[in-house]
Amino acid sequence: MLGVLKVQKVPEVLVLRVQTVPEVLVLRVLVLRVLQRVLNAIEVNAMFSFRFEWRSAVLPAVVVLVLLASAVPVAAQPEQPSPAGAQEEFVPVKDLPHQEQLPGGPLVLAAYGFVWAVLLVYVWTIWRRLGKVEREMRALAGRLKGQQRGIEDRM
Amino acid sequence: MKRSYPFLVLAAVVLFAAAPILVDRAPYESTMGLVQKIFYYHVPSAMVMFLSALVCGVASALYLFRRNAAADRWASAAAELTVVFGLIVLVTGPLWARKAWGVWWQWDARLTSTLLMWMIFAAYLLVRRFGGPGAEKLAAAMAVFGMANVPFVYVSVNIWRTIHPTTRVVPTLAPGMRGVFWFAVLAFMVLFALLLALRARLEARRAEVEELYLMVEED
């Protein structure tokens, strides 16, 4: 960006060439400008005491910190293996030795068996709970009839 | 409702007996082979789980805002079915994944959100069972949140980067697989209707028993 501004009056071809400056160089220019602004913020007077302009120094400082923070994860990234190496190590499933291949049949049967087992157990629990509630209902209805008969006899 | 039971039982038995034959005859998927046939149980179970969660959420909202006791009974029945069909989804999925992905489980968006949704409905049942007086209202509110989770679980595969296939799989199924898949969906839907009706009947009977207890104590 800074480089582009400096050469704006030269032919377009040159501007294009300047735009392809490596990012590291642009970053260095930016950091130098920021440092310059920080130094400008410090005013040294005749009595050798200095005054610090906080307002003008805060923004450049934040920019530097953000740049440093963003550089850390980039530096910490592990080196990617080359695609050529990965291609060489790849072995299709059909080419694996027989003992390393996982058969699909038992997995399909396990899934199908599990579906049936869960549904049958669930139907059985509903049937059992329904039977229990209906027995309870019959017992309560009998007790209620007995109570009503007792009341009628007393009257 | 009672008259429809024999029809529903017959339909569920016929559909479930015919499903394995059709699944066996369905064409093999080129990369996964035989294990892809878990798809015919896994995906319909997931569809029923979503439907059941929606039924539970709507019925719970009706109970919360209109104090409709019948809606609460339907919500309770649907929550149990959400947990049952969710369990099928969460078990058949890893059985398929072990062969297709090489791992039983992956903490990606679809799998994790499905597990969370299942846990919300399992918590609903626990709250109703052990929550004491007033637990129905708390459980109903949980069910509304559980229902709100359904669209997120469904679109999670399209929004976030995930190992699970996207929602484009079913609309683009090969003609030989499409018929078998929708047959399996129909079988699961009929079974869901039958189980929901049975489970709601159980809740209605329980309500009658409570009324009878009150009458016996009053006398």
Total count of domains within chain A: 2
- The confidence score (pLDDT) of residue A41 equals 63
Pairwise CB contact (< 8 Å): B201 & A130: yes
Q: What is the pTM of this model?
A: 0.71
Cβ pair B110, B153 in contact under 8 A: yes
Residues A127 and A64 in one domain: no
pLDDT at B186: 92
On whether residue A71 sits in a domain, the answer given is yes
How far is it, in rounded angstroms, from Cα B74 to Cα B197? Answer: 9
Is A90 part of a structural domain of the chain? no
Task: Please tell me which of the candidates A107, A134, A143 has its beta carbon nearest to residue B216.
Answer: A143
- Say if A96 falls within a structural domain: no
Q: Do B219 and A144 touch (CB under 8 A)?
A: yes
pLDDT in tens, A70-91: 666 555 655 555 556 556 666 6
Query: Is A29 within a domain?
Result: yes
Amino acid identity for residue A37 in this structure:
R
pLDDT tens, residue by residue, B19-32: 788 888 888 887 78
Q: How many H helices and E strands in chain B?
A: 6, 0
Q: Is residue A86 part of a domain?
A: no
User: Are the CB atoms for B75 and B140 separated by under 8 Å?
Assistant: yes
Residues A71 and A6 both lie in one domain: yes
> Which among A35, A62, A78 is the end of a domain?
A78
Same structural domain, A70 and A129 = no
A63 belongs to a structural domain: yes
CB contact under 8 A, B88 and A115: yes
Give the torsion sign (CA, B69, B126, B42, A130). Answer: negative
A107 and A42 together in one domain = no
Report yes or no: B150 and B117 within 8 Å, Cβ to Cβ.
yes
Residues A8 and A52 in one domain: yes
- Final residue belonging to a domain, choices A78, A111, A145: A78
Shared domain check, A126 and A61? no
Q: Is residue A95 part of a domain?
A: no
CA A134 to chain CA centroid, nearest Å? 52
In a domain, A91, yes or no: no
Write down the ipTM of this complex: 0.89
Distance from CA of A81 to the nearest CA of B (A): 21
Residue B31 is encoded by which pair of tokens?
């990369």
pLDDT tens-digit map of B101-120? 889 999 989 999 999 999 99
Count of CB atoms within 10 A of residue B52's CB?
25
Measured CA to CA, the distance from residue B142 to residue B127 in angstroms comes to 9
C-alpha span between B190 and B180 (Å, rounded): 15
DSSP state of B161: -
Q: Give B91 to chain A, closest Cα distance, Å.
A: 7
Q: pLDDT over 70 for what percent of chain A?
A: 45
Interface of chain B against chain A, CB under 8 Å? 20, 32-35, 37-38, 41-42, 45, 84, 87-88, 91-92, 95-96, 98-99, 191, 195, 198-199, 201-202, 205-206, 208-209, 212-213, 215-216, 219
Range of the domain at A134: 103-154
Closest CA to A89 of A98, A81, A97, A99: A81
